[in-house]
Amino acid sequence: MSKNLGTFKTRINGHSLIVTIPKGTGLKPNQELQLIQDNDGKLIYSPTDENPWNSMEPHDFKHDMETLDLEITNAKSIGKENI
């Protein structure tokens, strides 16, 4: 289901065009978006997958490794990894 958030004008900042995004969209400051232009010429902004290395929240890398079916060995840790 689509939701119309309003009509916005582009403005120039240096060599770029800027479109203001309302706070009510749920996006966070510095959140990365990808821009796709479909065959009809429509522009679609979508949040990119969150990079866990840039997040301050704890991330379950072991779960990722199990989900991706990666082999987890009992190798000795080099740093302070908790696997």
Cut 0.75: pTM above it: no
Q: How many domains does the chain have?
A: 1
Instruction: Answer yes or no: is 15 within a domain.
Output: yes
pLDDT of residue 54: 65
The first and second tokens of residue 75, run together, are: 């190798």
Instruction: Answer yes or no: is 80 within a domain.
Output: no
Instruction: Answer yes or no: is 16 within a domain.
Output: yes
Q: Can you give the residue range of the structural domain that contains 45?
A: 11-67
Instruction: Answer yes or no: is 1 within a domain.
Output: no
66 φ, ψ to 5°?
A: -70, -40
pLDDT of residue 4: 82
Instruction: Answer yes or no: is 54 within a domain.
Output: yes
Could you tell me how far CA 51 lies from the centroid of its own chain? 7
Instruction: Answer yes or no: is 21 within a domain.
Output: yes
Largest CA distance in the chain: 57
Nearest to 32 by CA among 10, 54, 8: 54
Ordered mean pLDDT values, 10 residues apiece, the chain (83 residues) = 84 93 84 89 84 69 75 69 62
Could you tell me how far CA 66 lies from the centroid of its own chain? 22
Instruction: Answer yes or no: is 74 within a domain.
Output: no
Q: What distance, in Å, lies between the first and last C-alpha atoms of the chain? A: 41
